Amino acid sequence: MQIQENISLITFHTFKLPVNAQYFIKVDTLDVLKDALSFAKQNALRILVLGEGSNVIFCDNFPGLVIKIALQGQTLVAETEQYYQLKANAGENWHNLVCDCLRKNYFGLENLTLIPGTVGAAPVQNIGAYGVELADVFHSLTAVHRETLESIVFSKSDCQFGYRDSVFKQQLREQFVITSVTLNLYKDPVLETSYAGLNKKLRELNQTITPKLIFEVVSQLRQQKLPDPQVLANVGSFFKNPIISVEQFARLSVNYPDMSHFRGPSGQVKISAAWLIEKSGLKGYEKNHVSITKQHALVLANDGKATPKSLFEMIDYIQTTILEKFQISLEVEPFIYP
């Protein structure tokens, strides 16, 4: 087992902050994973399980062991009349999996193209985009308990998937390492085209809709709207879309009749966080190497010299501005460490 000490995390997360891990290990087998978990337990170290770091930010150095998941491989485990059941190990790149599946005519992942990160992280926040979420194709996952090292299978209902949410963000947060995910992929195309932006583009194209066309259109939309983290350091959407009461929405609509909103859970209203930021005149604002990108108001970026301090000052500035203007608290979407 090769545990390294005092390792820079700058290349291991897409916001590229200059922070270090006290200890770091890349795990590519289950045995190495279990050895690493035992090492952390023996030395009473905090653990951070890291995929590709596309949904994490740091407020400081990480005082503990960072376990970078590099478990590779895919297996077709079963086939029914309706589905191919594919098991992918946690370190596989999500977008590569989407491309492989489309090539093999295993359908259902087309709308989820170009989401950065690993397969193992996908269930943590039930990744979703353009009207589809992981839960729609999910069968089960296997995870190792961080303390007991026992491997446990979680069914779909065990995962308690919600909107960008799962049991791994709630009751079981920081307790398991997901080692593989099994998906039910359709043999016949199931075309999900209801998402407004996607639907509009497909109607303009006026072509026969196929999974490949959806894949191409979603890829195009994403490339137009989102800065590539390889080029400009970012973590995608920085704030969650806030959910407010119908009463608060009614009060705000008097002054802001054009407020972008959708039906939220339990009869509440979901507001577009991007709209709130844009309406506050913050789009394009930058300070101390952190910017609210001109491309997308929900995406913050690091020009290469940002620090945890400058990022957290920007977060505070945005949250305070939105609170004062709309009486809405914006919640940060990526996980904050340590």
Tell me the CA distances in angstroms from 219 to 23, 164, 208, 224, 294, one per residue in order. Answer: 37, 20, 17, 9, 20
Under the criterion CB under 6 A, does residue 197 sit at the interface with ligand NAP?
Answer: yes
Q: Active-site residue among 46, 164, 192, 219?
A: 164
Residue 50 interacts with, from ligand NAP, ligand FAD, none (CB under 5-8 Å by kind): ligand FAD
Under the criterion CB under 6 A, does residue 64 sit at the interface with ligand FAD?
Answer: no
Q: How would DSSP label each residue in 247-289? A: HHHHHHHHH-TT--EEE-GGG-EEEPHHHHHHHTT-TT-EETT
Under the criterion CB under 6 A, does residue 55 sit at the interface with ligand FAD?
Answer: yes
Tokens describing residue 229: 């983290």
Subset of residues 194 to 213 that bind ligand FAD, contact rule: CB under 6 A: none
What stretches of the chain adopt beta strand conformation (E)? 4-8, 20-27, 46-50, 56-58, 62-69, 74-79, 83-89, 128-129, 132-133, 138-145, 151-155, 176-186, 233-237, 243-244, 261-263, 269-271, 286-287, 290-292, 299-302, 335-337
Residue 51 interacts with, from ligand NAP, ligand FAD, none (CB under 5-8 Å by kind): ligand FAD
Under the criterion CB under 6 A, does residue 237 sit at the interface with ligand NAP?
Answer: yes
Q: Helix 196-205 to helix 211-225 angle, to the nearest 10 degrees? A: 120
By the 10 Å C-beta count (0-12 exposed, 13-18 middle, 19+ buried), 305 is classed as: exposed
Active site residue 237: yes
Active site residue 333: yes
Residue 64 interacts with, from ligand NAP, ligand FAD, none (CB under 5-8 Å by kind): none
Entry field: residues in the chain: 338
Residue among 107 and 130 whose Cβ is closer to ligand NAP:
130
Near ligand NAP by CB under 6 A: residue from 200, 203, 225, 309: 225
**Helix, strand, or coil here: 290?**
strand
Near ligand FAD by CB under 6 A: residue from 90, 185, 273, 318: 90
- Rounded to whole angstroms, the Cα distance separating 265 from 163 reads 9
Q: Smallest distance from the beta carbon of 196 to ligand NAP, in angstroms?
A: 5
Residue among 69 and 252 whose Cβ is closer to ligand FAD:
69
Stretch that binds ligand NAP, among 7-15, 206-214, 248-256, 269-277 (CB under 6 A): 269-277
Active site residue 164: yes
- Rounded to whole angstroms, the Cα distance separating 198 from 211 reads 13
Q: Is the peptide bond before 189 cis (omega within 30 degrees of 0)?
A: no
From residue 159 to residue 178, what is the string marking binding to ligand FAD with x (rule CB under 6 A)?
-----x------------xx
Q: Smallest distance from the beta carbon of 235 to ligand NAP, in angstroms?
A: 7
Tokens describing residue 66: 């960072």
Under the criterion CB under 6 A, does residue 69 sit at the interface with ligand FAD?
Answer: yes
Q: Smallest distance from the beta carbon of 209 to ligand FAD, in angstroms?
A: 21
**Which residues contribute to the site for ligand FAD (CB under 6 A)?**
14, 48-56, 69, 90, 115-118, 120-122, 124-125, 127-129, 164, 177-178, 226, 229, 234-236, 335
**Which residues contribute to the site for ligand NAP (CB under 6 A)?**
129-130, 195-197, 225-226, 236-237, 241, 262, 270, 272, 274
